[in-house]
Structure 1
């Protein structure tokens, strides 16, 4: 879609002062998908030269905001880590063509803050942390689970930029389980639940997305039983936190989230042993 209110596009490396009507441009798959009448200038991040995805010296995984879904998918298929399959599972959770895969960015998916954003699901489930950069160059870090605050809402100040997301090395060593459901055969995710089991201390986490307006990551020192898990979800997720749109009613999403969470629990614990 043409953005007929945009008058200028500038390279982000030029460090020009931020002004009203500016927006960061990554892949542009969202920006150019619908009218943006408030925009006057786009600040293009594509030539910043950030390494799309890399393993840091401490073993953690750093994903640049400009990393495309295609680049992350290719990296995930070569990554030697217990949690590596989860990367491809979340990439495949996109309701998108190969053209979107090659343009859409991880940072754009997070900053859109949509409940069905699978990069939100992936990075929140693996206890990811966002690196945010203000206009004056100051940095701050926010957990992904706290960065997305609601449907389409995120913890970003005016002119602030998402630079990267870091996944701890410990999370990469976790066993994972992935469960997803859509209202239609090839529809957008209506509930997406990911479980992780840490072999170091036996701790368990379950992350609920798509069914809720924001990600909910619940951590347990030891794997819960069915009743404990259900109680934890009921306590954490309020009635108003279940998402409501044409892809599923809140009541149905809630039911499916409980069902998928129990499946994840059984897959990762002795309850699921054969």
Structure 2
């Protein structure tokens, strides 16, 4: 879609004062998908030269905000971490045309803050941490689970830029389980739950996304039974936190959340113990 209110496009490598009407341009799959009458200037990140993905000396995975879904999928396909299959599962949770697969960025998915954003699901479940850069040069870090605070609502200050997301090596070494539901075969996620088991202390973590307006996480220090998981989900998600749109009513999303939470518990706790 043409953005007929944009009067200027600037290379992000040029330092300039952030002003009302500015917007960061990554892959552009959201910006150019619908009218953006508030935008006057696009600041293009495509020439920043950020390495899409890299492993640090500590074994952590750093994902640049400009990393595309296709790049993430290819990189994870060659990895031998126990959590590697989860990357492809989340990449395939997109309703992805060729354009989205090759142009949409991990950072853009997070910064849209949509409940169905599978990169939010992936990085929140793996204890990802966002690195945010302010126009002043100040840096702050926010866990992904706290970065998205509501449907389309993010912890981003004016002019602040998501530079990267870091996934710790410890999370990459954990076992995972994935469940996703849509009303249609190629529909947007109505519920997406991920379970992880810590490779050191065996803690089970359950991350709920898509069915809720923000990521909700539950941690179980000891292997839980079905009742413990149900009580945690029932008490930890308020009725108004279940998302309501054409992709699923809150009652259905709640039902699928309880169903998948138990399936994940059974897979990671009971089946693993046999």
TM-score (norm 1): 0.98
Q: 1:109-132: CA deviations, max 9, x gaps? A: 000000000000000000100000
Secondary structure in 2 matching 1:31: coil
The question of 1:122 aligning with 2:122 is answered: yes
Which runs of 5 or more residues in structure 2 are unaligned?
none
Secondary structure in 2 matching 1:211: coil
- In the TM superposition, what is the alpha-carbon distance from 1:272 to its structure 2 partner? 6.0
Q: Return the alpha-carbon distance in structure 1 between the equivalents of residues 14 and 223 of structure 2.
A: 50
Q: How does 1:243-254 map to 2 (within 5 A)?
A: 243-254=243-254
Q: Pairwise CA RMSD of aligned residues?
A: 0.9
- In the TM superposition, what is the alpha-carbon distance from 1:273 to its structure 2 partner? 5.3
Change (3 A) 1:245 1:141: same
Which runs of 5 or more residues in structure 1 are unaligned?
none
- In the TM superposition, what is the alpha-carbon distance from 1:239 to its structure 2 partner? 0.7
Secondary structure in 2 matching 1:33: coil
- In the TM superposition, what is the alpha-carbon distance from 1:199 to its structure 2 partner? 2.3
Q: How does 1:252-267 map to 2 (within 5 A)?
A: 252-267=252-267
**Where does residue 58 of structure 1 map in the other structure?**
58
Q: Return the alpha-carbon distance in structure 2 between the equivalents of residues 221 and 143 of structure 1.
A: 20
Q: How does 1:235-250 map to 2 (within 5 A)?
A: 235-250=235-250
**Where does residue 79 of structure 1 map in the other structure?**
79
Q: Return the alpha-carbon distance in structure 2 between the equivalents of residues 20 and 144 of structure 1.
A: 26
Q: Return the alpha-carbon distance in structure 1 between the equivalents of residues 233 and 20 of structure 2.
A: 40
Count of residue pairs the alignment pairs up: 274
Secondary structure in 2 matching 1:13: coil
User: Which aligned runs of 4 or more in structure 1 are off by greater than 4 angstroms?
Assistant: 271-274
Range moving further from structure 2, 22-31 or 221-230 = 221-230
The question of 1:70 aligning with 2:64 is answered: no
- In the TM superposition, what is the alpha-carbon distance from 1:221 to its structure 2 partner? 1.1
Q: 1:5-52: CA deviations, max 9, x gaps? A: 000110101011111100000000000000000000000011101100
Range moving further from structure 2, 188-197 or 219-228 = 219-228
The question of 1:220 aligning with 2:226 is answered: no
- In the TM superposition, what is the alpha-carbon distance from 1:79 to its structure 2 partner? 1.1
Secondary structure in 1 matching 2:192: strand
Q: 1:64-123: CA deviations, max 9, x gaps? A: 000000000000101120000000000000001122111000000000000000000000
Q: Return the alpha-carbon distance in structure 2 between the equivalents of residues 42 and 35 of structure 1.
A: 14
Range moving further from structure 2, 85-94 or 264-273 = 264-273
Q: How does 1:16-165 map to 2 (within 5 A)?
A: 16-165=16-165
Contact 2:148–2:155 at 8 Å: present in 1 too?
A: yes
Contact 1:69–1:91 at 8 Å: present in 2 too?
A: yes
**Where does residue 192 of structure 2 map in the other structure?**
192
- In the TM superposition, what is the alpha-carbon distance from 1:270 to its structure 2 partner? 2.2
Contact 1:267–1:273 at 8 Å: present in 2 too?
A: no
Q: Return the alpha-carbon distance in structure 2 between the equivalents of residues 99 and 30 of structure 1.
A: 11
The question of 1:210 aligning with 2:210 is answered: yes
